[in-house]
Amino acid sequence: MSKLRLKISMSLDGFVAGPHQSPENPLGIGGTRLHEWVVPLTAWRAVHGLEGGEVNASSRVVEESTANIGATVMGRNMFGGHPGAWDARDPWKGWWGTNPPFHHPVFVLTHHAREPLVLEGGTTFTFVTGGIEDALQQARRAAGGKDISLAGGAKAAQQYLAAGLVDEMEIHLAPTLLGAGERLFDGVGDDLHGLTLVRTVAAPTVTHLKFARPKS
């Protein structure tokens, strides 16, 4: 069966976003420091339509994280815009412009129903009001046998982790403190539901920690 794979950047003190997130500052104060390791990489720049960049130990981790993904699940906060009901006249269309870097179906967890949003390049955002299992089921159907990426943010990740539905987790640990914001593991408890450290990749400014379930 296709896997649900969480990948997320986290600070040394456990935050995946800084405090005071807003449409102008979607990652919160200091949050961009979580992603400084990825922006220079050729593997990341290519996906975002940018040329150049560098190759280092992180490159294969980024390439692997986008390989064999057939659908994405994300929380409303990551899709972004504003809290509450969608603006009927000019609904928020995501952070990624007219041709988002997903190129596959994306399922957005939300309390507010909305028609699917079809953008260029194969990315369709479907808004799911039925909860995390419903979203996962729809994503699994859409992925056609490939894996599903759990893109974040914190609250979506927490719900899937607490329910034991995550099959693989790659934490990009940024060696920095945010001091406040959204913690990845808030409310998850002390149970990783069998997720075990299976690989550590040391890069100059980030440590990649991959967790998976041992094959039974």
In angstroms, the Cα distances linking 166 to 77, 128, 193 are: 19, 18, 9
Query: Does 180 help bind a second copy (rule: CB under 8 A)?
Result: yes
Q: Does 36 bind a second copy (CB under 8 A)?
A: no
Pairing of strands 168-174, 4-11: parallel
Question: Between 97 and 189, whose beta carbon lies closer to a second copy?
Answer: 189
> In the complex with a second copy, which residue's Cβ is closer, 85 or 198?
198
Contact pick of 24, 190, 215, 216 for a second copy (by CB under 8 A): 190
Peptide bond before 153: cis, by omega within 30 degrees of 0? yes
* Cβ-based nearer residue to a second copy, 46 or 201: 201
Residue 171 in the binding site for a second copy (CB under 8 A): yes
Taking the least distance from each CB to a second copy, the nearer of 56 and 68 is 56
Q: Does 56 bind a second copy (CB under 8 A)?
A: no
Q: Which residues pair with 86 in a beta bridge?
A: none
Give the H/E segment covering residue 139. helix 132-143
Nearest distance, CB of residue 186 and a second copy, angstroms:
9
Strand order in the sheet with 168-174: 117-118, 124-128, 105-109, 69-75, 147-150, 4-11, 168-174, 206-212, 196-203
Shortest reach from residue 139's CB to a second copy, in Å: 25
164 binds a second copy (CB under 8 A): no
Rounded to whole angstroms, how far apart are CA atoms 72 and 77?
15
Indicate whether 25 belongs to the interface with a second copy (CB under 8 A).
no
Closest CB to a second copy among 86 and 185? 185
What dihedral do alpha carbons 197, 77, 15, 213 form, nearest 10°? -10
**Residue 118 touches a second copy, criterion: CB under 8 A:** no
| SS3 state at 196 | strand
- Residue 13 or 133: the one with the smaller Cβ distance to a second copy is 13
Q: Which residues bind a second copy (CB under 8 A)?
A: 12-14, 30, 171, 173, 175-180, 183-185, 188-192, 196-197, 200-202, 204-205, 207, 209, 211
